[in-house]
Amino acid sequence: MRKFNICTLLFLAIFSFNLNAQTFDGEWTADYVTPDDAFSSNSTGQRVMSVGAFENNSFVALVRRSSAKDYYLVGYKNANHDSGRLGNYPYSPDSLQTKWINFFDQAFLHEAKDLATSGSLFYVANNDVDHNILMFEIKSDSIYTFPKRLKTKTPNDLWAIDVDGAENVFVTTGGDSSTAGKVLVYNSANWKSDGKTGDLLQEITMPDPGTLRGVAVNKDGTVLYVSNWLNNKVYCFLGSPADGYSLYNGFNLDADSTFEYTIGSETKSGRVGPWGLQFMNTKNILLVTYDTDYGHEGRYQFGRVYFANPNTGEILDTLDVAEWNFQQAGQYDNPDTNGTASGYTSVFNVDYDDNFNLYSTSYYGWAVDKWKYSSELPTINITITDVEKLSENIPNKFNLKQNFPNPFNPSTTIQYSIPKVKTLHATSQQTTSQNVKLKIYDILGNEVATLVNQKQSPGNYKITFDASLLSSGTYFYTLELGNNSITKKMVLLK
């Protein structure tokens, strides 16, 4: 009987693992790149800092003039290698700067680092004197000012930007080797053209110093990711624009911060880190671009897009843009002649269209690369936000149930109960929300994940814990409510 139970548990664990495994069984290939060509009518004309996609073959490029701090926007509709650009743009222009204008109100693009799309609208994190967030609209023939903007008036430059489905805007600011940067959250629904309306909903300070070059949020605004290039980290926060966000410690994107490159006959080592982030809604895949900093001598020999599990940070697939460029052109610092490799790898940002094709920047290649996948992308369930209230019945006591299944592989469900608040000055218990924490520890007492860290009203709850990145062994989970805590044991069996 004992042998039968052990075998049954092993079978269930293996079966559960197969059900939860995510596979990328296809290949990424470049469909086309916009040309770096002075004689082409389809070129961006200068260095592409960021890209935002709207639908298949329709996108906008944020372009920087290399000798100035002025930026301009180039839109594309029904694009391919040879056509699709909206409007006329000179190649390597001496003076060109996009202007947001609404009657007598205007602002010029200046040192803008990123943009984010929402339908046919897009938001630009600008660094003029007011540090405006500017809104534009792409139409059939050109890019137009959309009469909304916000003067953030932050003391530090803005960098990355993203928008959730409720028009909440997330933008990174500040941060260096000694100072932690921040994410500012606004709601653009009540913005006006004068830039005076727009309350700051949240200000989230990062746990470490460093430069914040990417931000991504899911459509519901419940999961937020931020990249810190200097410290080679991608943070995950859980919460909402209304109630705030807490750092989720169970997320860890483990990618090397160094790479080897060759100059002549000499092999050297360079530094890389996470740049742009994009959350692929529906598929629930986190896209992370990894590259060198500006001006690194080996910069063309490295540049990747990682496809990460949104719950754990596990890298599920890799698009090696530098290697693709080398295979197509035979060298790292030149585009191929067929329009399928931009060369000069510098994949600082990435976006996707409604068919899940990718569009990546080639900053030094003066181009946008479009990538297509040969198979069906997997869909990943987001489990870290699955705190489900089971019923409206108010429990009488604080309780934590045994996880099920146990042993488990790789996920298990935890249920707990939050009672009403007892007060000294009231005859009845109160139904106000309380701070609740649910954490996972290893056998040495090290915290390995925070599943819940938020205010919750009295009730019965359950949450799924995904332990894909953890090793087999015994773990403990602790529920904390004020000065009270309950701890139970769980076993991960892979």
**pLDDT of the chain, 494 residues: tens digit per residue:** 333 343 433 333 333 333 334 568 899 999 999 999 999 999 999 999 999 999 999 999 999 997 788 999 999 999 999 999 999 999 999 899 999 999 989 999 999 999 999 999 999 999 999 999 999 999 999 999 999 999 999 999 999 999 999 999 999 999 999 999 999 999 999 899 999 888 899 999 999 999 999 999 999 999 999 999 999 999 999 888 988 888 887 789 999 999 999 999 999 999 999 999 999 999 999 999 999 999 999 999 999 999 999 988 999 999 999 999 999 999 999 998 889 999 999 999 999 999 999 999 999 999 999 999 999 999 998 878 767 778 768 898 999 999 999 999 998 999 999 998 765 444 445 556 788 899 999 999 998 888 887 778 888 999 988 888 789 999 999 999 989 999 999 999 99
Instruction: State the pLDDT at residue 430.
Output: 56
Using CA atoms, how far apart are residues 65 and 90, in angstroms rounded to an integer? 12
Using CA atoms, how far apart are residues 247 and 377, in angstroms rounded to an integer? 28
Instruction: State the pLDDT at residue 423.
Output: 53
Beta strands in 93-153 (DSSP E): 99-102, 105-108, 114-118, 121-125, 132-138, 143-151
Q: Are 131 and 149 in contact (CB under 8 A)?
A: no
106-129 burial: b if 16+ Cβ within 10 Å, else e:
ebbbbbbbbbbbbeebbbbbbbee
Using CA atoms, how far apart are residues 225 and 21, in angstroms rounded to an integer? 22
449 Cβ contact list (under 8 Å, min separation 6) = 248, 249, 250, 439, 440, 465, 467
DSSP 57: T
Instruction: State the pLDDT at residue 454.
Output: 75
Containing 12, the helix (H) or strand (E) segment is helix 2-20
Topology (CATH level 3) of domain 28-373:
Neuraminidase (2.120.10)
The neighbouring-strand residues paired with 359 are: 351, 370
Q: Are 469 and 484 in contact (CB under 8 A)?
A: no
The neighbouring-strand residues paired with 59 are: 53, 76
What's the angle, vertex CA 483, arms to CA 481 and CA 485, rounded to 5?
60
Taking the domains of the chain in order of start, what are their residue ranges? 28-373, 386-492
What's the angle, vertex CA 22, arms to CA 212 and CA 389, rounded to 5?
75
What are the phi and psi torsion angles at 83 (to 5°)?
-150, 170
Give pTM, 2 decimals. 0.81
DSSP 4: H
Architecture of domain 386-492: Sandwich (2.60)
Is omega for the bond preceding 207 within 30 degrees of 0, making it cis? no
H helix count then E strand count, the chain = 2, 36
